Structures are given as C-alpha cells and as structure tokens.
Amino acid sequence: MDEEYDSLQPFQEDALRLDEVSHKEPRKNAAKLQAAHHSYRKIERVKRFYHIDTESLLRRQQALLDNLKSENDSLQEIVDTYVIKDYRKQMAESLEEANKYTGLIEAETKKLHSWESVVHDLDFKELDCKRRMGGCMAGWTKHRATQIHIQQDENRIHKTTVDNNIVKGHTKMIKQKMQQLREEQKFYDIVHQKLKKELHKVEQDNQQCIANMEAMYADRNEYQEEISDLLEMADSKHNYSQWFTMEGWANQEPYSMDELSSSHIFALGTKNKEDITRGATDDATKEKALNKKRRTEQLMRRFTTTHYTMRKKTGDYHKKWVEIKAFANAQDLLKVDGIGDVLPGIMTIQEKNAGLYNEMNELMKEMEGLDTVKQDHIFDNSAEDVKSHVAARKYEVDRAVDSLLDSIRHLEIDDEAFIPVVVDMKKQILLIFKEAGCYIKEDEVLGSDDVLKSPIDNQYPELTVGSLFSKLEDFVDRSCGTFN
C-alpha cells in the first residue's frame, strides 16, 4: 500500500504545481487540465484504496476549474471592450461610403461611353479621309488585291478543269463497260432461252419418270401384296393343309352370284321417287322417305361391293389365296387353333342365312304391297279384312322369327372363345326384332343375365328387317374371313 501511495505522489505534486502556476500562465491551462484529467483517470483505477487522496485531488481540481472560470470571465470583459456597440451608426457610415463610390463609378462609366463615341467618330472620319485622299500606296494596294483575286480564280479554274477531265475519263470507261454488259446480256439471253428449252424438256422427262414411278409403285404394291400372301401361306402351313383337307370350304356357299344381284335384293326396299311424290304430304314424311332412300342406296352399295363381287372379278389364282386367307381369318376371329370342329356350324349358318334371306325378300314384297294398298286406297276390301290380313302376315313373321330363334338356340358350341360372338349376334337379332314390335322371350334365348334393356322405337319394318339382314351378313362375312 505504501509503495502504491509513493507512486502517486508525483501526480499530486503536478496537481499542486498546476494550481500555483494557473494564474501566471493562462495559455497552458488547457494542457495542464488535460494532464490533470489523465492523472485523475489513473487515480480512479485505485480509488478503492485511496479514497482520501482522491477526494483531496478532486477538491484541488475543482479549485483549478474555478480559477479557469474566473480567467475566462476576465477575458470576456476584455473582448467586450474592443467590440463596437453602435452598429446602426457604423452601418449608416458604410452605406454613405458605398453610395459615394457608386456615384463615382457611374460618373466614370458615363465618361467612358462618351469617350468611346468620340473614338468611333474619329475612326469613321479617318476611314473617310483615307477613302477620299487615297494616299501614295493606294494604287499598289489595289493592284496587289486584284492579283490575289486573279490567282485565286486561276487556281479554281485549273482545279475545275482537272476534275472535268477526270469525270470525262470515268464517263468513257463507264460507256465501255455498259457496251460490254449489253453484249454479255445478249449472250446470256441466248443461253437463257436454250436453258429454258432444256428445262422444259427435263420437266417433261420428270413427268414421264413420275408416271413411270407411279406405275412401278402400283406394281410394287401388287407384288408386295402377293408376297405378303405368300408369306402368310408360308407361316400358316397348317391352315393350308386344313383348307386342302376341306377341299375349298369357302366355295361351298349355298347361293350363287346371280342371287346377289341388285334386282333380287328386295330386303333393301323399293320405294323411291313414287313414295316421295305420292305418299309424302308434309316435311317430316318427306324427310323420312329421303332417309329411307339413302339407307336403301347405302345397303345396295354394300351388297354390290362385297367379297362375292371381288371373287367374281378375280381369277382362280387369287381366289385360292383368298380362300386360304379366309380360313386363317376365321381362326383369328374365333380365337381357336383348329377350325375343323366349328366349320360345319359356320356352313350351317350360311345355309340358314340364305334361306332367311329368301324369306325376308318375300316378306318385304308383301309388306310393300300392303303399304301401297294403304297409301293409294285402291282396294275394295273392308278395314276388317285388311286388319285380319295384316294380323295373318304378322303371325307369319312371328313364325319366321321363331324359326330363326330356334336355329340360333341350336348353335350353342362348347368352345368358350366362340360363345361371346354367338351371344353378341343373338343380342343384335333380338334388339332388331324387339324394335320391329315382335314378341320375343328374351329369357329363353339369352338368359336372365343378358336381357336387353334398350328402348323400343317405332320404325319401318322393312328397315328393321334390312338392318337384321345387314348384321347377319356382316357376321357371316367376318366368320368366312373375306370381309374387307
């Protein structure tokens, strides 16, 4: 503790010395004050150990601050003695001096303007005198000026002449080039005409080549079809052997090409222009008749463009491949490996289809006759006879439908792959006869799970029967394998 107190004694002595010298050297008070604060910060560090010394030092510093304040007040009084207190008087004197100097400046400016006008007048008079008097050097000056102008004009003329010669040379060269270009144009025109003729000839050759290529493409397509048929034959030797064993089953159709001519297809209907002009009285009836005509024409086109017509046009060579391909397509349609078991059933369907076809033609003839009698009212029988006749014909139609359904019921085949096809065919047949208004027991034909749930629409009987015939024919064609 004593050692620390001894280390602080120099700082205390400095503080006392500052207190003594503060009145003699006021300019060094700031530095001393800074040193005192430095000492104060050091003393603060050991404030816990030297409380008494610290308080004495603070008292001395407070005394030093009071002395500095008194010196500051004395200095402020001295400054106030040197400051002017009457500012208005001093400002008025300054304004008077400024106005005086401003008046002097304006007077000097006026004198300067007057002297400038005088100098201008003297210059004008001097120039006028020189112009009137000329002087001893006036002729030489004019001659010199004239020579300068002449030299300038000669230089300009020379430059213009040189430029003109250059332009003439360029013009001559351009004329020569134009002449050469005209000659080249004539030459290239001749070449263009020749090339145009050659181009026309080449275009003709190209057209001929295109025509030849199209013919070659057609031949290539035919050859490719034959090659594809041959490849199919090579890939299906088993089908060929079965076809050979069956001895051309596709030729065993129960009706000939003459029976499929347009004159014998009565199932399509024959009411055309006469029905439209005679029986159609309103727009709705005309529209129905026109729709019926379009349907008839569509079915006619279908029956005249079937595979029978194709087989009639082709020879025996292509006919054999069609039969073999039909055999393979029948297997693909029924999804079976061997078609020998199903083939008798398909042939039976064809025979029954032909018989149904003939019966439908007869029924359609009679229905058309009845429609003609109803429309023209030319018969003398009573309405009751007509009703009884219609009822009898309806009974015959029901019998034909029953016979058709009996034939369908006996087509149940054990092969599971063929059953969905038969069921679909039954549904289509039942739907058509149901729409025609015929009574059919669906449970007996299809079973309770496959009962039809379609609405019954009032349509012409010939259209419904024609639709039935179309669907039956489509199924037979697909099973025979010659569809499309």
Evaluate the CA torsion angle 470, 475, 481, 484 in order and state its sign. positive
Two structure tokens written together for 437: 């208004």
What the block records as the tokens of 27 is 């300019």
- 308 closest CA partner among 463, 480, 468: 480
Least trusted range by pLDDT, from 161-165, 252-256, 382-386: 252-256
Indicate whether 262 pLDDT > 50. Answer: no
What pLDDT does 432 receive? 62
More confident residue, 106 or 394: 106
Say if residue 435's pLDDT is above 70.
no
Q: Which residue has the higher pLDDT, 137 or 303?
A: 137
Distance in angstroms (rounded) separating the CA atoms of residues 409 and 426: 9
d(CA 194, CA 202): 12
Question: pTM for this one?
Answer: 0.21
User: Could you read off the pLDDT of 194-208 as tens digits, one per residue?
Assistant: 999 999 999 998 899
pLDDT classification of 415: cutoffs 50, 70, 90: very low
Q: What are the helix (H) ranges across 134-272?
A: 138-235, 237-246
Cα(425)–Cα(333) distance, integer angstroms: 14
pLDDT, residue 53, reads 65
Instruction: Specify the pLDDT at position 253.
Output: 40
Q: Are 56 and 5 in contact (CB under 8 A)?
A: no
pLDDT of residue 312: 44
pLDDT of residue 483: 36
pLDDT at 31: 76
Among 229, 189, 397, 421, which Cα is nearest to 326's? 229
Q: For residue 215, what pLDDT band results from cuts at 50, 70 and 90? A: confident
pLDDT value at position 70?
87
- In 3D space, the residue among 338, 335, 483, 347 whose CA is nearest the CA of residue 418 turns out to be 335
Q: Does the pLDDT value for residue 378 go beyond 50?
A: no
Region 76-85: mean pLDDT is 71
3-state secondary structure of 332: helix
Q: Mean of the pLDDT values across residues 20-24?
A: 52
> And the tokens for 336?
């079976």
Residue 380 tokens read as 């003398």
Candidate from 21-25, 288-292, 340-344, 432-436 with smallest mean pLDDT:
21-25
